[in-house]
Amino acid sequence: MKSKCEVRYASHPNDTKNYDTKAIRDNFLIDKLFSNDEVNMVYSMVDRMVAGGAMPVSEELELKSEPIFKADYFTTRRELGIVNVGGEGTVNVGDIEYHINYKEALYIGKGDKKIVFRSLDPSSPSKFYFNSVPAHKSYPDKLITRKDAIVIELGKQEECNRRILNKLIVSETVQTCQLQLGMTELLSGSVWNTMPAHTHERRMEVYFYFEVPQGQAVCHFMGQPNETRHIWLSNEQAVVSPVWSIHSACATSNYTFIWGMGGENSDYTDMQPAPTSELK
């Protein structure tokens, strides 16, 4: 197996105003998460969030500690949230095996645990997307199925943003230190997410886009509300959103995205609104 970890440093909003397209993509876009029999991840200095993907095909994949962690195990000082966005698979956490279906999530608490990913059918491999943040305390691991999620319908058809919000790893479903994670599914005919936009001064966020049809694309909007920028994304790509940045998107088709947050406050409603009429 191969394991790759890229370290990204935080960017000041005043510096980002001067970024060209390449610089914006180099700093915020995570363009390759899934490759056969590889674990790929980005370690962001923004709240020390790790976003990654594991795709076991012909072999099991172990989630190992990278040199940047300076730890024996990945979860020595971290908690972890995993969502399967591929075929059926299993995640072994120590001696316990969790069977994870499509769009189901697993929370793994802090502790020295060996974590191994496996696909049940190599012809339809699992794709395990994960977010991880530092943890101060160990909480029990927990599988969150689709029926365990807190489901909310949002938006309006006339505003092209009807969507289903699935809260997977949040305070109402599982105890965590700071990680919050969920999945939003855009309904057919809707393309806008997270509007009106907002920022989180006490939390950063990573958006992972998938179920983007072939030939279609997502335009992710970022930046300060009065100084916005955009990044074009393809299927199964992600973008890092700093605390000062809005995080919203519009696509050429409906799609699904996973949002993962880490930071000082885990209150879901803790945000600063950015009214659409004031965006620039």
> Domain holding 196: CATH number?
2.60.120.10
pLDDT in the model for residue 120: 98
For the chain, 280 residues long, give each residue's pLDDT as a single digit of tens. Answer: 899 999 999 999 999 999 999 999 999 999 999 999 999 999 999 999 999 999 999 999 999 999 999 999 999 999 999 999 999 999 999 999 999 999 999 999 999 999 999 999 999 999 999 999 999 999 999 999 999 999 999 999 999 999 999 999 999 999 999 999 999 999 999 999 988 899 988 999 999 999 999 999 999 999 999 999 999 999 999 999 999 999 999 999 999 999 999 998 887 788 899 999 999 9
214 vs 166: CA distance, rounded Å: 24
Instruction: State pTM to two decimals.
Output: 0.96
Find tokens 């973008």 and name the residue. 239
* Cα dihedral value 247, 250, 254, 259, nearest 10: -10
Confirm if 100 and 90 have CB atoms less than 8 A apart: yes
In total, how many domains does the chain have? Answer: 1
* Cα dihedral value 131, 77, 199, 20, nearest 10: -70
Confirm if 126 and 86 have CB atoms less than 8 A apart: yes
pLDDT in the model for residue 32: 97
Amino acid residing at 104? E
Find tokens 């056969």 and name the residue. 36
Amino acid residing at 42? V
125 vs 105: CA distance, rounded Å: 16
DSSP letter, residue 148: G
166 vs 153: CA distance, rounded Å: 9
Residues of the domain holding 124: 2-278
Q: What residues contact 243, with CB distance under 8 A and at least 6 apart?
A: 46, 47, 199, 200, 201, 202, 203, 204, 263
Express the helix, strand and coil content of the chain in percent, nearest 5 each: 10, 45, 45
Find tokens 């305070």 and name the residue. 171
172 three-class SS: coil
pLDDT in the model for residue 249: 97
Task: State how far Cα 152 lies from the chain centre.
Answer: 19
pLDDT in the model for residue 275: 92
